[in-house]
């Protein structure tokens, strides 16, 4: 049973790459959709969809001499969302707890 000639290697590699990229994008979209759905269910049921993490914020001001001056703000509790991806304009709590220092370059 011969099904015909095989496609050239370049065509097969291109097809494999396209299918891989499409599968990766679909998996990402599915993960975001499930995370969004779970967040909205928690929000509708008032099951603690938001949290807060204490964050240290500072400004890095570049001076004319090439040095950098740091201006530190007092630690503040920053609201966050209990989700895998950012939801409702808030960073995820897992991300803020792993990055408690936030720098703003001026």
The domain locations on the chain are: 9-105
Reported as a single tens digit per residue, the pLDDT across 74-89 is: 999 999 999 999 999 9
**Tokens coding 71:** 């201006």
Reported pTM: 0.76
Tens digits of per-residue pLDDT, 17-73?
999 999 999 999 999 999 999 999 999 998 989 999 999 999 999 999 989 999 999
CA 92, CA 77: separation in Å to the nearest integer?
A: 14
Cα distance between residue 53 and residue 79, in whole Å: 7
Residue 81 · residue 93 · CB < 8 Å: yes
Range 99-103 average pLDDT: 94
């Amino acid at each position: 049973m011969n099904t015909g000639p095989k496609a050239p290697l370049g065509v097969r590699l291109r097809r494999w790459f396209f299918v891989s990229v499409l599968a990766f994008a679909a998996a990402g979209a599915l993960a975001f959709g499930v995370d969004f759905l779970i967040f909205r269910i928690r929000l509708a049921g008032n099951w603690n969809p938001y949290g807060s993490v204490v964050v240290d914020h500072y400004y890095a001001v570049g001076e004319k001499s090439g040095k950098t001056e740091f201006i530190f703000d007092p630690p503040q509790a920053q609201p966050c969302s209990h989700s895998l991806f950012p939801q409702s304009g808030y960073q995820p709590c897992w991300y803020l707890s792993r990055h408690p220092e936030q720098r703003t370059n001026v």
